Protein backbone atom coordinates (compact mmCIF):
# COMPACT_ATOMS: atom_id res chain seq x y z
CA UNK A 1 0.00 0.00 0.00
CA UNK A 2 1.56 3.22 -1.21
CA UNK A 3 0.38 5.86 1.34
CA UNK A 4 -0.95 6.00 4.92
CA UNK A 5 -4.28 7.19 3.55
CA UNK A 6 -4.38 4.22 1.20
CA UNK A 7 -3.50 1.89 4.05
CA UNK A 8 -6.33 3.35 6.14
CA UNK A 9 -8.71 2.70 3.26
CA UNK A 10 -7.39 -0.86 2.84
CA UNK A 11 -7.90 -1.71 6.51
CA UNK A 12 -11.32 -0.05 6.81
CA UNK A 13 -13.82 -2.83 6.11
CA UNK A 14 -17.40 -2.72 4.89
CA UNK A 15 -19.87 -3.83 7.57
CA UNK A 16 -22.24 -6.36 6.05
CA UNK A 17 -24.22 -6.86 9.27
CA UNK A 18 -24.36 -9.57 11.96
CA UNK A 19 -20.64 -9.31 12.83
CA UNK A 20 -19.70 -9.85 9.18
CA UNK A 21 -17.25 -7.55 7.35
CA UNK A 22 -15.68 -7.44 3.90
CA UNK A 23 -12.36 -6.06 2.66
CA UNK A 24 -10.48 -5.62 -0.60
CA UNK A 25 -6.90 -6.64 -1.34
CA UNK A 26 -3.60 -4.91 -1.93
CA UNK A 27 -2.51 -6.05 -5.41
CA UNK A 28 0.82 -7.71 -4.71
CA UNK A 29 3.23 -8.58 -7.51
CA UNK A 30 3.47 -12.16 -6.22
CA UNK A 31 -0.29 -12.58 -6.88
CA UNK A 32 -1.24 -13.72 -3.35
CA UNK A 33 -2.72 -11.75 -0.47
CA UNK A 34 -0.05 -10.12 1.71
CA UNK A 35 -0.15 -11.82 5.12
CA UNK A 36 0.08 -8.53 7.01
CA UNK A 37 -3.05 -7.36 5.21
CA UNK A 38 -5.31 -10.26 6.23
CA UNK A 39 -3.88 -10.09 9.77
CA UNK A 40 -4.54 -6.35 10.09
CA UNK A 41 -7.97 -6.55 8.46
CA UNK A 42 -8.95 -9.37 10.84
CA UNK A 43 -7.84 -7.23 13.76
CA UNK A 44 -9.85 -4.31 12.37
CA UNK A 45 -12.96 -6.50 12.17
CA UNK A 46 -12.53 -7.63 15.78
CA UNK A 47 -11.91 -4.02 16.87
CA UNK A 48 -15.35 -3.02 15.60
CA UNK A 49 -17.02 -5.34 18.10
CA UNK A 50 -15.36 -4.27 21.37
CA UNK A 51 -15.95 -1.18 23.49
CA UNK A 52 -13.75 1.89 23.08
CA UNK A 53 -12.04 1.42 26.46
CA UNK A 54 -10.64 -2.03 25.54
CA UNK A 55 -7.62 -2.53 23.31
CA UNK A 56 -5.96 -5.67 22.01
CA UNK A 57 -3.05 -6.91 24.11
CA UNK A 58 -2.42 -10.17 22.26
CA UNK A 59 -3.39 -11.91 19.05
CA UNK A 60 -2.70 -15.29 17.51
CA UNK A 61 -3.39 -16.11 13.87
CA UNK A 62 -3.06 -19.11 11.56
CA UNK A 63 -2.68 -18.87 7.79
CA UNK A 64 -4.73 -21.72 6.31
CA UNK A 65 -4.78 -21.02 2.56
CA UNK A 66 -3.03 -18.52 0.30
CA UNK A 67 -5.42 -15.67 -0.42
CA UNK A 68 -6.53 -14.79 -3.96
CA UNK A 69 -5.90 -11.06 -4.57
CA UNK A 70 -8.69 -10.95 -7.16
CA UNK A 71 -11.37 -11.98 -4.64
CA UNK A 72 -12.59 -9.86 -1.71
CA UNK A 73 -12.30 -11.34 1.79
CA UNK A 74 -15.14 -11.70 4.28
CA UNK A 75 -14.45 -11.62 8.01
CA UNK A 76 -16.79 -13.27 10.51
CA UNK A 77 -16.32 -12.13 14.13
CA UNK A 78 -17.37 -14.31 17.07
CA UNK A 79 -17.81 -12.77 20.53
CA UNK A 80 -16.36 -15.43 22.83
CA UNK A 81 -16.39 -13.41 26.05
CA UNK A 82 -16.82 -9.97 27.59
CA UNK A 83 -15.57 -10.04 31.18
CA UNK A 84 -14.90 -7.38 33.78
CA UNK A 85 -11.39 -6.64 32.48
CA UNK A 86 -10.92 -8.75 29.34
CA UNK A 87 -12.77 -9.48 26.09
CA UNK A 88 -12.03 -12.26 23.60
CA UNK A 89 -12.86 -12.37 19.90
CA UNK A 90 -12.33 -14.95 17.15
CA UNK A 91 -12.25 -13.91 13.49
CA UNK A 92 -12.39 -16.24 10.50
CA UNK A 93 -11.46 -14.87 7.08
CA UNK A 94 -13.23 -16.48 4.11
CA UNK A 95 -12.87 -16.52 0.34
CA UNK A 96 -15.36 -18.52 -1.75
CA UNK A 97 -16.78 -20.04 1.46
CA UNK A 98 -13.37 -21.44 2.45
CA UNK A 99 -11.47 -20.28 5.53
CA UNK A 100 -8.08 -18.81 4.61
CA UNK A 101 -7.11 -17.35 8.02
CA UNK A 102 -8.28 -17.50 11.62
CA UNK A 103 -7.44 -15.01 14.40
CA UNK A 104 -7.97 -15.04 18.16
CA UNK A 105 -7.57 -11.68 19.90
CA UNK A 106 -7.72 -10.73 23.57
CA UNK A 107 -8.61 -7.22 24.76
CA UNK A 108 -8.08 -5.51 28.12
CA UNK A 109 -9.09 -2.30 29.85
CA UNK A 110 -6.21 0.01 30.83
CA UNK A 111 -4.58 -1.26 34.04
CA UNK A 112 -1.29 -0.45 35.78
CA UNK A 113 0.82 -2.82 37.91
CA UNK A 114 4.44 -4.09 37.74
CA UNK A 115 6.67 -2.75 34.96
CA UNK A 116 9.90 -4.04 33.39
CA UNK A 117 11.27 -4.83 29.93
CA UNK A 118 14.42 -5.90 28.09
CA UNK A 119 16.90 -3.29 26.87
CA UNK A 120 16.77 -1.95 23.34
CA UNK A 121 19.71 -3.15 21.18
CA UNK A 122 19.70 0.04 19.07
CA UNK A 123 23.15 0.72 17.64
CA UNK A 124 22.51 3.62 15.25
CA UNK A 125 20.46 6.77 14.79
CA UNK A 126 17.76 6.17 12.12
CA UNK A 127 18.25 9.65 10.58
CA UNK A 128 21.82 8.66 9.66
CA UNK A 129 20.82 5.42 7.92
CA UNK A 130 19.87 4.69 4.33
CA UNK A 131 16.53 3.11 3.45
CA UNK A 132 16.35 -0.58 2.61
CA UNK A 133 15.55 0.32 -1.01
CA UNK A 134 18.67 2.52 -1.24
CA UNK A 135 20.83 -0.24 0.26
CA UNK A 136 19.45 -2.88 -2.09
CA UNK A 137 19.89 -0.71 -5.17
CA UNK A 138 23.50 0.08 -4.25
CA UNK A 139 24.74 -3.46 -3.56
CA UNK A 140 26.10 -5.98 -6.04
CA UNK A 141 25.92 -8.81 -3.51
CA UNK A 142 22.21 -9.47 -4.10
CA UNK A 143 21.06 -10.71 -7.56
CA UNK A 144 18.62 -8.48 -9.43
CA UNK A 145 15.76 -11.00 -9.23
CA UNK A 146 16.19 -11.20 -5.45
CA UNK A 147 16.27 -7.39 -5.24
CA UNK A 148 12.95 -7.23 -7.11
CA UNK A 149 11.37 -9.68 -4.66
CA UNK A 150 12.70 -7.91 -1.57
CA UNK A 151 11.51 -4.52 -2.83
CA UNK A 152 8.13 -5.82 -4.04
CA UNK A 153 7.16 -7.21 -0.62
CA UNK A 154 7.65 -3.76 0.96
CA UNK A 155 4.60 -2.15 2.70
CA UNK A 156 5.21 1.18 0.95
CA UNK A 157 3.33 3.39 3.41
CA UNK A 158 6.25 2.73 5.77
CA UNK A 159 9.92 3.62 5.51
CA UNK A 160 12.45 1.00 6.67
CA UNK A 161 16.09 1.73 7.51
CA UNK A 162 18.29 -1.29 8.40
CA UNK A 163 21.24 -0.75 10.72
CA UNK A 164 23.35 -3.05 8.51
CA UNK A 165 23.44 -3.14 4.74
CA UNK A 166 22.91 -6.22 2.62
CA UNK A 167 26.62 -6.69 1.84
CA UNK A 168 27.37 -7.44 5.51
CA UNK A 169 27.07 -11.13 6.30
CA UNK A 170 24.67 -12.12 9.07
CA UNK A 171 25.19 -15.27 11.11
CA UNK A 172 22.18 -17.32 12.28
CA UNK A 173 22.90 -16.17 15.85
CA UNK A 174 22.80 -12.44 15.10
CA UNK A 175 19.94 -9.96 15.35
CA UNK A 176 18.89 -7.79 12.43
CA UNK A 177 17.80 -4.32 13.54
CA UNK A 178 15.58 -2.20 11.30
CA UNK A 179 14.11 1.23 12.09
CA UNK A 180 10.71 2.04 10.59
CA UNK A 181 7.90 4.59 10.65
CA UNK A 182 5.14 5.96 8.42
CA UNK A 183 6.45 8.07 5.56
CA UNK A 184 3.76 10.68 6.14
CA UNK A 185 2.46 11.82 9.52
CA UNK A 186 -1.09 10.54 9.97
CA UNK A 187 -3.59 10.98 12.80
CA UNK A 188 -4.56 7.54 14.12
CA UNK A 189 -6.43 6.34 17.19
CA UNK A 190 -5.06 3.54 19.40
CA UNK A 191 -6.84 0.76 17.56
CA UNK A 192 -5.61 2.05 14.18
CA UNK A 193 -2.06 2.30 15.53
CA UNK A 194 -2.23 -1.38 16.47
CA UNK A 195 -3.68 -2.35 13.08
CA UNK A 196 -0.93 -0.43 11.26
CA UNK A 197 1.77 -2.09 13.36
CA UNK A 198 0.30 -5.56 12.73
CA UNK A 199 0.38 -4.78 9.00
CA UNK A 200 3.98 -3.53 9.04
CA UNK A 201 5.75 -6.22 11.05
CA UNK A 202 4.88 -9.03 8.65
CA UNK A 203 7.36 -7.29 6.32
CA UNK A 204 10.71 -8.88 7.20
CA UNK A 205 10.44 -11.47 9.95
CA UNK A 206 10.56 -14.70 7.92
CA UNK A 207 13.18 -13.29 5.54
CA UNK A 208 15.33 -12.50 8.59
CA UNK A 209 14.90 -16.08 9.78
CA UNK A 210 16.48 -17.55 6.66
CA UNK A 211 18.69 -14.72 5.34
CA UNK A 212 21.95 -16.26 6.57
CA UNK A 213 21.15 -19.35 4.48
CA UNK A 214 20.47 -17.25 1.36
CA UNK A 215 23.84 -15.48 1.42
CA UNK A 216 26.28 -16.94 -1.12
CA UNK A 217 23.56 -19.39 -2.16
CA UNK A 218 21.05 -17.39 -4.18
CA UNK A 219 20.94 -20.05 -6.92
CA UNK A 220 19.18 -22.42 -4.49
CA UNK A 221 16.27 -20.32 -3.20
CA UNK A 222 13.99 -21.36 -0.38
CA UNK A 223 10.22 -21.48 -0.43
CA UNK A 224 9.05 -19.31 2.46
CA UNK A 225 5.41 -18.83 3.50
CA UNK A 226 3.69 -17.75 6.73
CA UNK A 227 2.08 -20.46 8.85
CA UNK A 228 1.16 -18.61 12.02
CA UNK A 229 1.64 -15.20 13.63
CA UNK A 230 1.43 -13.99 17.23
CA UNK A 231 1.73 -10.47 18.66
CA UNK A 232 1.69 -8.95 22.13
CA UNK A 233 1.14 -5.21 22.59
CA UNK A 234 2.88 -3.98 25.74
CA UNK A 235 2.89 -0.18 25.76
CA UNK A 236 1.55 2.78 23.77
CA UNK A 237 3.48 3.73 20.62
CA UNK A 238 3.22 5.98 17.59
CA UNK A 239 3.90 4.62 14.10
CA UNK A 240 4.56 8.23 13.00
CA UNK A 241 7.75 8.11 15.09
CA UNK A 242 10.79 5.87 14.61
CA UNK A 243 10.38 2.36 15.98
CA UNK A 244 13.12 -0.28 16.12
CA UNK A 245 12.30 -3.80 14.89
CA UNK A 246 14.95 -6.14 16.33
CA UNK A 247 14.65 -9.62 14.79
CA UNK A 248 16.29 -12.97 15.36
CA UNK A 249 15.62 -16.60 14.49
CA UNK A 250 15.60 -18.98 17.51
CA UNK A 251 15.06 -22.10 15.39
CA UNK A 252 14.90 -23.64 11.92
CA UNK A 253 13.91 -27.30 11.67
CA UNK A 254 11.33 -29.62 10.13
CA UNK A 255 11.07 -27.40 7.01
CA UNK A 256 9.88 -24.54 9.26
CA UNK A 257 11.58 -21.34 10.41
CA UNK A 258 10.78 -19.33 13.54
CA UNK A 259 11.24 -15.57 13.65
CA UNK A 260 11.04 -13.42 16.79
CA UNK A 261 10.85 -9.63 16.80
CA UNK A 262 11.01 -7.06 19.59
CA UNK A 263 9.71 -3.59 18.78
CA UNK A 264 11.07 -0.61 20.72
CA UNK A 265 10.23 3.09 20.62
CA UNK A 266 12.91 5.79 20.27
CA UNK A 267 13.24 6.01 24.07
CA UNK A 268 14.06 2.31 24.30
CA UNK A 269 10.72 1.13 25.67
CA UNK A 270 9.57 -2.30 24.53
CA UNK A 271 6.18 -1.64 22.89
CA UNK A 272 5.39 -4.99 21.24
CA UNK A 273 6.66 -8.51 20.62
CA UNK A 274 5.95 -10.62 17.55
CA UNK A 275 6.67 -14.28 16.79
CA UNK A 276 6.03 -15.91 13.44
CA UNK A 277 6.57 -19.42 12.10
CA UNK A 278 6.82 -20.11 8.41
CA UNK A 279 7.43 -22.82 5.89
CA UNK A 280 11.11 -22.91 4.85
CA UNK A 281 12.21 -25.57 2.38
CA UNK A 282 14.19 -25.71 -0.88
CA UNK A 283 12.14 -24.44 -3.79
CA UNK A 284 11.52 -26.93 -6.57
CA UNK A 285 12.02 -25.19 -9.93
CA UNK A 286 10.62 -27.17 -12.86
DSSP string, 164-224: S-TTS---TTS-EEEEEEESS-----HHHHHHHHHHHTTTTHHHHHHHHHHTT-TTSPEEE
Query: 42, 87, 202, 246: which one is catalytic?
Result: 202
Active site residue 144: no
User: Left, alpha or beta for 19 (phi > 0: left; psi -120 to 50: alpha)?
Assistant: left
Query: 74, 95, 226, 262: which one is catalytic?
Result: 226
Q: Which helix (H) or strand (E) holds 148?
A: helix 144-152
Count of Cβ atoms closer than 10 Å to residue 74 Cβ? 19
Active site residue 276: yes
The DSSP call for residue 18 is: T
Active site residue 248: no
Dump strand ranges (E) for the chain: 14-17, 20-23, 54-63, 73-82, 86-95, 98-109, 158-162, 176-182, 222-233, 243-253, 256-265, 270-282
Residues with a known catalytic role: 202, 226, 276
Amino acid sequence: MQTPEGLTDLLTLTHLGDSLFEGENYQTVWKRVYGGQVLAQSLHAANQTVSADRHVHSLHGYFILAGDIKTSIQYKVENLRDGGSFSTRRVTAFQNDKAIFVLAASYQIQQEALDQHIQSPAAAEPEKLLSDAQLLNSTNDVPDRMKLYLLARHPFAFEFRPERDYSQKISPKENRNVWFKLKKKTILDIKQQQEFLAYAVDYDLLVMSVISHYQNNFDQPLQVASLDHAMWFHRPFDVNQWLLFSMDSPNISGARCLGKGSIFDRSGNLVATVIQEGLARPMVIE
